[in-house]
Amino acid sequence: MKSLVSVVTILCIVSLSPTAMAVTFSDVTQQANLNNYPDCRASAWVDYDRDGYLDLLIGSEGGVNRLHRNLGDGTFSNVTLEAQIPYRTGIWGVNFADIDNDGFDDLYLSARAPDTFSAGRNVLLHNSGLGYFDDISDSSGANVPGGGVAACFAPFSKGPFVDLFVPNQYYPSREFPFFLSNNGNNVFSDETGFMGLLYSDWWDIPIAFDYDNDGRLELFCTKDFHGNSMYDQPYGHTFINVSDSLHFQTSCGYGATVGDVNNDGWFDLYITNWHDYTDKLFLYDSAQRRYRDNTSAWGAPATTWTSAAHFADFDNDGLPDLFVTGAGTGNTYYHNQSGQRFTNLTSQAGLTNYGYNWGASIGDYDNDGFLDIFVPEYLYGNGGKLYHNNGNNNNWVEFELEGTHSNKDAIGAKLVLQGGGYSQMRQVIAGSGFGSQNSLVQHFGVGQDTIIGNLWVFWPGTGYDIYDSLIVNTRYHIVEGEALAVNGEPVYFPKDFRIVKTYPNPFNSQTQIEICVGQPCNLTVDIVDILGREVKSLLAERLEPRMLTLAWDGTDQRGDPISSGIYFCRVTNGIDLNSSRLLLIK
């Protein structure tokens, strides 16, 4: 595998020219059947039944933890009982990951207060794939003492399974967190000492991400009044505290999020704070290999008493915006202005809310290409609010990754998207903000661009794949080492046919398309535009094994000349699909 430092940096030394189009949100909590459940702390968007729609898991300090199934029509059904989600008090954190790579995500509930929690233990729920969960907390070894407010899943060992990191904040008999190594058989082993994490601190919110583009996952954790820490794995296993060299320690840290806010190819950090301490925005300085406080320069106000934070491109202009929850101080929506500063557009966006908010989770629950927000409410509220993103005219593309050599959810994978003059970066992260988890579907806004150059996927600990011929306003299913799939329908590398070459390309008057047919099949060959609309059908018949050459003269089905631009030759037998990009220049 090539060095991520060189590859990612080269890919991202391009500035984005975003298209600013304001978005608004609507409170659709009641219409979605999600109201009247008090005392909520955390939430997660997870497609637990693999039907293509994000479901909503809500953790409650009062004990009524809930799972709401997305019906696909904008409403949700409470399936808590049939899914066997347990009644447990003191839940402050919810996470999910496919711990055994069976294709169904499992759930983890973190408890803060042992004295009010059943047996003072966290809970691991295994997804049966049949619509219900089995409590395997005891048999798995993941029933560690409650006392934390969050957890995170990540493949720290670079194996095919995700490990589990559980902070510890309040459990009196243990001062250390828990590093639970996944043995691959639904059993975890406590390897905290072996991993070098026997630090006596006040552990809050963990995030696993690759801050220095070296291909290894680092562990960042806020620690309330005990500063904030980054742990690196320079030798592949044991963690080493590198916080001092990165210069981002603050006196207090509560929640946190990571994202590349200026599209320079390096992840930045936003840390929320409580009491008399203020939020901080740290941008990574790749030249000095450290973080720098850019809070004032970016116009982020001296906010305090905040909890969750999430970077996400809500208006699809190609730049991550920022959403922050407040514990009675109000939520805040910051719009990213040209990758240079944030502007508070909370009121204009319709996100003003002075409830007692802790966590928040981001996901496209209605598959319309715009990211929505769920905000749990604790005290005085109805349990939370679902904010639907009303969208704009900007374009987007989404990717759902599936690991084969790496873990099934591809947690830890890094994506770099290149387009017409821009480059963006994301990482699949299972746990951030404050006690919550966002959808694992990776979302990119691309403004008014209709051309996407390449997508690079750096799989955790294995290698990378490169994809092109991407179409905007599409959700792709990407399987490690295989071809793209569109809108959740798997499409694999063709075994009985393939496009060998197109020539000339670019072309002016005519291009030749050479196709190898390896087995007898019913083959359809057509030309489509960048939106996937058919321009001209070239072939639709059953073929025996042969080399086939077709010609396209740049006309549509009626024989009329079409305009210059990018088109695609699409070949399919109804199951497999192969495509090649064509550039028509007149």
Q: Are residues 324 and 340 in the same domain?
A: yes
Q: pLDDT (tens digit, 9 = 90+) per residue, 234-285?
A: 877 789 999 888 887 666 788 899 999 999 999 999 999 877 678 899 999 9
pLDDT for res 360: 95
CA–CA separation, 496 vs 293, rounded Å?
Answer: 55
pLDDT for res 89: 76
pLDDT for res 172: 56
Q: Are residues 390 and 420 in the same domain?
A: no
Sign of the C-alpha dihedral computed for residues 127, 131, 134 and 135 taken in this order: positive
pLDDT for res 35: 77
Peptide bond before residue 177 is cis, with ω within 30 degrees of 0: no
Helix (H/G/I), strand (E/B), else coil: 161: coil
Q: pLDDT (tens digit, 9 = 90+) per residue, 361-383?
A: 999 999 999 999 999 988 766 67
Closest CA to 298 of 318, 276, 270: 270
Q: pLDDT (tens digit, 9 = 90+) per residue, 36-72?
A: 677 788 999 999 999 999 999 999 887 789 999 999 9
pLDDT for res 329: 80
Q: Are residues 429 and 337 in the same domain?
A: no
Residue, of 199 and 437, whose pLDDT is higher: 437
In a domain, 152, yes or no: yes
Q: pLDDT (tens digit, 9 = 90+) per residue, 371-418?
A: 999 999 887 666 789 999 999 999 999 999 999 999 999 999 999 998
Q: Which of 379, 398, 417 is the last residue of a domain?
A: 398
CA–CA separation, 300 vs 336, rounded Å?
Answer: 11
pLDDT for res 492: 34
Could you tell me the two tokens for 568?
A: 């695609």
Q: Are residues 386 and 409 in the same domain?
A: no
Give the CA distances from residue 363 to residues 184, 224, 367, 442, 574, in Å, rounded to whole numbers and listed in that order: 29, 27, 9, 9, 31
Closest CA to 432 of 341, 312, 350: 312
Q: Which of 398, 420, 435 is the last residue of a domain?
A: 398
Please state the rounded mean pLDDT for residues 526-544: 89
Could you tell me the two tokens for 349?
A: 């966006």
Report residue 173's pLDDT band, with 50, 70 and 90 as the boundaries. Answer: low
Q: Are residues 129 and 46 in the same domain?
A: yes
Q: pLDDT (tens digit, 9 = 90+) per residue, 191-215?
A: 988 888 877 667 789 999 999 988 8
pLDDT for res 420: 62
**353, pLDDT greater than 90:** no
Peptide bond before residue 506 is cis, with ω within 30 degrees of 0: yes
In a domain, 13, yes or no: no
Residue, of 487 and 519, whose pLDDT is higher: 519
Sequence letter at residue 45: W
**313, pLDDT greater than 60:** yes
Give the CA distances from residue 287 to residues 78, 212, 264, 284, in Å, rounded to whole numbers and listed in that order: 51, 11, 12, 9
Q: pLDDT (tens digit, 9 = 90+) per residue, 81-134?
A: 999 999 877 888 999 999 999 999 999 999 876 444 444 578 999 999 999 999
Q: Which of 398, 429, 452 is the last residue of a domain?
A: 398
Give the CA distances from residue 417 to residues 127, 199, 220, 442, 457, in Å, rounded to whole numbers and listed in that order: 32, 38, 25, 11, 9
Q: How far is CA 459 from the centre of its chain?
A: 14
Q: pLDDT (tens digit, 9 = 90+) per residue, 462-513?
A: 788 888 878 889 899 999 988 665 544 433 333 467 787 788 888 988 999 9
Q: Are residues 457 and 511 in the same domain?
A: no
pLDDT for res 383: 77
**352, pLDDT greater than 80:** yes
Q: Are residues 51 and 90 in the same domain?
A: yes
Residue 64: give its domain's CATH number. Answer: 2.130.10.10
In a domain, 373, yes or no: yes
In a domain, 4, yes or no: no
CA–CA separation, 127 vs 97, rounded Å?
Answer: 10
Strands in 565-572's sheet, in edge-to-edge order, are 534-543, 521-528, 565-572, 577-584
Q: Are residues 100 and 184 in the same domain?
A: yes
Q: Are residues 391 and 425 in the same domain?
A: no
Sequence letter at residue 430: A
Q: Are residues 206 and 252 in the same domain?
A: yes
Residue 503: give its domain's CATH number. Answer: 2.60.40.4070
Identify any residues that bridge with 341 across adjacent strands, giving them in sequence order. 337
What is the extent of the structural domain holding 38?
25-398
In a domain, 2, yes or no: no
In a domain, 5, yes or no: no
Contact call for residues 491 and 577 (beta carbons, < 8 A): yes
Q: Are residues 545 and 464 in the same domain?
A: no
Q: pLDDT (tens digit, 9 = 90+) per residue, 214-233?
A: 889 999 998 877 778 899 98
In a domain, 502, yes or no: yes
Q: How far is CA 530 from the centre of its chain?
A: 25
Q: Are residues 361 and 221 in the same domain?
A: yes
In a domain, 290, yes or no: yes
Task: Please count the structural domains in the chain.
Answer: 3
